[in-house]
Amino acid sequence: KSISGVSSGCQQGGCLTCSDYNGCLSCKPRFFMHLKRIGMKQIGVCMTSCPPGFYGTRSPERNTCTKCRSECDSCFDKNFCTRCRAGFYLHLGKCQESCPDSMVHNDTQRECVLS
Amino acid sequence: KIQDGEGPEAPSCPFHCHCEEDGIFLTVDCSEIGLSSVPSNLSPFTTYLDLSMNNISEIQPRAFHHLHLLSELRISGNQLRYISGQALQGLHNLRVLMLQNNQLERLPDDAPWDLPNLLSLRLDANLLSDVPSEAFEGVRSLRHLWLDDNSLTEIPVMALDSLPSLQAMTLALNQITHIPDYAFANLSALVVLHLHNNHIQSMGSRCFEGLQSLETLDLNYNDLQEFPVAVRTLSKLQELGFHNNNIKAIPERAFVGNPQLQTIHFYENPIQFVGKSAFQFLPKLHTLSLNGATQIQEFPDLKGTTSLEILTLTRAGLSALPLDLCEQLPRLRVLELSHNQIEDLPSFYHCSALQEIGLQHNKIRRIESSTFQQLTSLKALDLSWNVLESIHPDAFVSLHSLIKLDLSENRLSSVPVAGLGGLTHLKLRGNTFLYEAFGPDHFPHMRVIEMPYAYQCCVYASCDSYKPAGSWDTEQSNAHEDLQKRTVAVYQIHADAQYDPYLEDFQLEIEESKLQSSVQCTPTPGPFRPCDSLLG
Amino acid sequence: EHPLLRALIKVTLLKHEATGKPIVVEGLFVGGSAGKAEGRLMQYHPLSLCNTSEDERQDGDFITIVKLEHRVPRCLPLLDKARMALDKGAQAVIFDVSDDANAAAELREANSFSRPVVLVEAQGAEDLMGLVNKNEEANVVIEIKVEPKWLHYDV
């Protein structure tokens, strides 16, 4: 098992080049590169949508996954959440611990809804 | 309970899929198993279905008609070219539909998808060249829409009219060239709009009318020739990006309609002119960076822009700074004004939060005692490439946090050391009238020091180790070998290649005397750069 | 050329901490960063350390190891990557340069890192990365290596 050769370690569908120690080094066009932490290792993974808690950014050179804000379970970009973590409630893309006046918590959807 | 569709088709878990039960509900993962069609025996209690990364090129009519409880459907990474309205019939409770990374060329126009509760629709990374006017008539609750990385040449204005609840949309990575007036007139709830990486050259001056909730607008990487004055109607705008465009000027009162702005990114534009009042009254702006705007002769008037923390204004034509600069910008943390024509400096006394000052490549002649007075947080000061002739003895007295000072390439004959005890980096190269050697006792924490002459480095390493001319090669010896001689000669300790626990106290010795071996002083003395100054 | 001190990298698997003998690998300090460091070993992908907003914050003392690959386009110069790793709290950074010939030259140019930055290659690097691939928690101690007295005298 050579250190640098393209090796068996990465059969994922979206991977273009990879190595034993780093997993995917580049993805096929239009796939997102996600740097996945597994214990002390961090490997590259190529996917069509970023995992929960991350959002995708497309650019001509590379598509990457980036972590949402800590209070979001999922998000559209770093400023706009689409689902909140437990204890937070969504209103216009923001996850807050309380809702604006005239709105109440919906605990299943974790959202602020009109009262 | 987990079921695996391994055995003969399990009653509710399709072959090879991975299913998980949550009470009566079922999540079904059939991703990346080589499917060429939608499994037929899906349980009506399925709430989550992942069919991504398969070879599905078509969805049979009524494939999902019984999945009334389905909340999320993922069909990304397949080979779908078209999905008819009937194909998605019955998905009354669908909230998330992922169709990205397919080959969709068009959306249904005659009988659009009927998904009354859909919130998120991903159509990114497909081959859509236009969006029919009626395409979104059946998804009126939509909040998040991805149309990036397609082949759109226009904003789908009519189709967007059906989406009054839309909050976030990306049309990035398409071939859009123009934004017409009232393009987003009905999107009163839109908070985020990404238009980066298109070919937008022009915009109607009323193109953003109706976007009264917009907070983020991304116009980066386009061909805009003029400043987008249309942003004036965006009263809630917090983040604006138009970097990597072709804009040459920022007009007076450019952001008069955007009092909530926190960040503006416009680097990589050939900006020559900036209206003096362009950045006034932006109380939430914390970063302003302008590089290469050569027509700027006067420092901008930043009245009312009181939260600025980072100000970069380089490669312009500034010759002076306002005396009340720090009164206007009390929270300034980084001030970068390199490559201008500045001659005299005001007192930065009221900029007490300043941590970095970059004034390199200007025409500054002297530093007064008051110039940097009370800047107790200042860590880095770069005054290189000026015409400094004198620095007041008390100029650095109160700079308790200063660790990096660059005075290279000036005309100094002396440097006051009072207040500089914390330095780790000091650069004095190029001050040809500066002969004094500053010993380690002035700078107990020094790591990297650059002096005008080699002999001034001798105080940082015993010159004897360089001396015996006979053993000195014509070429300076290999740095690695040179280090061996110094380390061994100084410490006289035996050691073998393997780690030896008895060396523990020796390692500690290295710790204490680290100063001697880890201060990098250049130019390094040598046979042609002797320790004794040729001038005596 | 700045004097480059050699480093001793001693790695102990946490589960063998009491009994096991550490793996000792040699490296080269760059950027005048010779010094002592200790922490848990954490691998980073070469595409990581690209922007300050990146996701990961580790708790406790850790030492970053990155196996560089010439096939991976650089989002930042290596000097900036090293500084970013240190800014993110790494006690030290180890770069395996076995598969990136230019990396060593690029990193030797550095003149000021605040904490140790070490290059490893060849068999030493393979031993280290082999251990990373086990994905078992390991503790690392980095020290300045003292060369033997008679190593360079012609006797």
Contact: C98, A26; criterion CB under 8 Å = no
> pLDDT tens digits for C136-146?
889 999 999 88
> pLDDT tens digits for A28-46?
999 999 999 998 999 999 9
Mean pLDDT, rounded, for C72-80:
86
Contact: B167, A80; criterion CB under 8 Å = yes
Say how far apart CA A93 and CA B6 lie, in whole Å: 41
Contact: C45, A26; criterion CB under 8 Å = no
- Find out whether B94 and B83 touch, Cβ atoms under 8 Å: no
Say how far apart CA B289 and CA B310 lie, in whole Å: 8
pLDDT score recorded for residue C17: 63
Q: What is the ipTM of this complex?
A: 0.86
Q: Rounded to a whole number, what is the distance in Å from the CA of A48 to chain B's nearest CA?
A: 6
Say how far apart CA B233 and CA B258 lie, in whole Å: 8
Confidence of residue A7 (pLDDT cuts 50, 70, 90): very low
Alpha helices (H) along B214-372:
325-328
- Find out whether B510 and B439 touch, Cβ atoms under 8 Å: no
B239 touches chain A (CB under 8 A): yes
pLDDT more than 70, % of chain B:
86
Contact: A22, C55; criterion CB under 8 Å = no
Q: Rounded to a whole number, what is the distance in Å from the CA of B57 to chain A's nearest CA?
A: 17
B458 closest CA partner among B536, B407, B519: B519
Q: What is the pTM of this model?
A: 0.83
> pLDDT tens digits for A59-109?
999 999 999 999 999 999 999 999 999 999 999 999 999 999 999 999 998
Counting beta carbons within 10 angstroms of the beta carbon of residue B358, is it exposed (0 to 12), middle (13 to 18) or buried (19 or more)? buried
How many residues are present in chain C? 155
Contact: B520, C4; criterion CB under 8 Å = no
- Find out whether B457 and B451 touch, Cβ atoms under 8 Å: yes
What letter represents residue C81's amino acid?
K
- Would you say residue B534 has pLDDT above 90? no
- Would you say residue B432 has pLDDT above 90? yes
Tell me which residue in A30, A58, A80 faces B192 most closely, judged by beta carbons. Answer: A80
Cis amide bond preceding C3, omega within 30:
no
Tell which of C25, C83, C149 to mutate to test the B interface (max B CBs under 10 Å).
C149
What letter represents residue B117's amino acid?
N
pLDDT score recorded for residue B1: 53
B328 token code pair: 């206007």
> pLDDT tens digits for B245-276?
999 999 999 999 999 999 999 988 999 899 99
> pLDDT tens digits for B140-186?
999 999 999 999 999 999 999 999 999 999 999 999 999 999 999 99
CA distances, C140 to each of B147, C90, C109 (Å) = 47, 12, 25
- Would you say residue B510 has pLDDT above 50? no
Contact: B125, A48; criterion CB under 8 Å = yes
Chain A residues whose beta carbon lies within 8 Å of the beta carbon of residue B168: 76-77, 80, 82, 93
Chain C residues whose beta carbon lies within 8 Å of the beta carbon of residue A70: none
Contact: C67, A22; criterion CB under 8 Å = yes
pLDDT score recorded for residue A4: 31
Q: Using CA atoms in the order B28, B29, B30, B33, what is the torsion angle rounded to 10 degrees?
A: -150
B310 touches chain C (CB under 8 A): no
Confidence of residue C151 (pLDDT cuts 50, 70, 90): very low
B512 touches chain C (CB under 8 A): no
Question: B210-214, B391-395, B529-533: lowest mean pLDDT where?
Answer: B529-533
If one counts every other C-beta atom within 10 angstroms of the C-beta of residue A71, the result is: 18
- Find out whether C31 and C113 touch, Cβ atoms under 8 Å: yes
Binding-face residues of A in 47-76 toward C, CB within 8 A: 54, 61, 66-67
* B526 beta partners: B529
C154 touches chain B (CB under 8 A): no
Chain B residues whose beta carbon lies within 8 Å of the beta carbon of residue A77: 168, 192, 194, 216
A50 closest CA partner among A62, A37, A38, A67: A67
Q: What number of CA atoms fall less than 13 Å from residue C113's CA on the CB side?
A: 30
- Find out whether B236 and B212 touch, Cβ atoms under 8 Å: yes
Confidence of residue B377 (pLDDT cuts 50, 70, 90): very high
**Helix/strand/coil for B534:** coil
